[in-house]
Amino acid sequence: MLTEEKRKLELEAANIRKTALETIHTAGSGHIGGSFSMAEIVTVLFFKAMNIDPKDPDKKDRDRLVLSKGHCSPVMYATLARRGFFPVEHLKTFRKIDSDLSGHVEIHVPGVDMSGGSLGQGLSVALGMAMYGKCNNLGNYAYAIMGDGEIQEGQIWEAAMAAGFFKVNNLIGFVDNNQIQLDGRLTEVMDPNPIDEKFRAFGWNVINVNGHDVEEIADAIEEAKKSKDKPTMIVAHTVKGKGVSVFEDTNRFHGGQPTPEEYDLAIKELDDQIAALEV
């Protein structure tokens, strides 16, 4: 990846974090930690890898994305708005009565392919989308983003088994491996690690990446697209709350909110990152 492209993607990720945080702040609620850990993943998908058109969000041969960890709607909606699916101004209605932008992703929002909220379902749905694409020769890909706590759900492994068995090579999953779930550290709740070996055992091509390195994520997607007979799981090693010092590596901001002082500090840190990446 060229240095200039990398800088632009990193700048976009920083802007997405800031937009997501402002959106949560205006609403007074929303999930910061899991949104921030996956900012680079959605940046690479929406600003580089995916075949999508914000002007024609339902085009038949588009790549599909299922945000299975649907509570991370703030980062998804911030990304969609910044990519041009709807005005950034509309984010001010997030979590308000009568808004289409509810706390978990909803399919009627342009750019959203599946409603989320009940964890564990997204890989099955993305598998169906990928198989539909293959059966209809669309030449497209279906992506699913899951949390590492989420993959404790049994349905994930049913989908994993089917995708491996049926060699669904146009299915590309991400596990946002931030090591923290709602109740605490994965190792204390019910540890799904080693995640890579488990998916390999189910017949998947597995790639481990630093989930905050846009180049590694983009390369992994390219690699996944070369797979002829296996679905690919990209295990993204991330930090919950990445990008703001006080948010990082804690479950305090899973759904919890910063104090006014912490919010101001967070915006300042993000502004500094944005300024450093702007030319």
Q: Residue numbers of the site for ligand TPP (CB under 6 A)?
A: 33-34, 37, 69, 71, 117-120, 147-150, 176, 178, 180-182, 240, 254
Tokens found for residue 189: 């709740």
Least separation in angstroms between residue 6's CB and ligand TPP is 24
Q: Please identify, using beta-carbon distances, which residue of 116 and 133 lies nearer to ligand TPP.
A: 116
Least separation in angstroms between residue 179's CB and ligand TPP is 8
Q: Please identify, using beta-carbon distances, which residue of 138 and 146 lies nearer to ligand TPP.
A: 146
Query: Using alpha carbons only, what angle is made at residue 106 by residues 153 and 126, rounded to the nearest 5 degrees?
Result: 50
Q: Which DSSP symbol is given to 47? A: I
Collapsing DSSP to helix, strand or coil, 244 comes out as coil
Residue in the shown chain whose Cβ atom is closest to ligand TPP? 147
Least separation in angstroms between residue 255's CB and ligand TPP is 7
Least separation in angstroms between residue 181's CB and ligand TPP is 4
| Cα–Cα distance list, 205 to 167, 220, 222 (Å) | 10, 11, 13
Q: Please identify, using beta-carbon distances, which residue of 7 and 185 lies nearer to ligand TPP.
A: 185
Q: Please identify, using beta-carbon distances, which residue of 34 and 133 lies nearer to ligand TPP.
A: 34
Q: Please identify, using beta-carbon distances, which residue of 119 and 207 lies nearer to ligand TPP.
A: 119
Could you give the residue ranges of the DSSP H alpha helices within the chain? 3-27, 33-37, 39-44, 73-83, 122-135, 154-165, 186-189, 195-201, 214-225, 260-277
Q: Please identify, using beta-carbon distances, which residue of 175 and 270 lies nearer to ligand TPP.
A: 175
Least separation in angstroms between residue 192's CB and ligand TPP is 9
Sequence-ordered list of residues with C-beta below 8 angstroms from that of 3, at least 6 positions apart, any chain: none
Q: Please identify, using beta-carbon distances, which residue of 18 and 240 lies nearer to ligand TPP.
A: 240
Sequence-ordered list of residues with C-beta below 8 angstroms from that of 213, at least 6 positions apart, any chain: 40
What is the spatial distance between Cα 86 and Cα 90, in angstroms, rounded to a whole number? 7
Quick one: the chain helix, strand, coil %, rounded to 5?
A: 50, 10, 40
Least separation in angstroms between residue 94's CB and ligand TPP is 17
Nearest one of 43, 39, 40 to 72, comparing CA atoms = 39
Least separation in angstroms between residue 38's CB and ligand TPP is 7
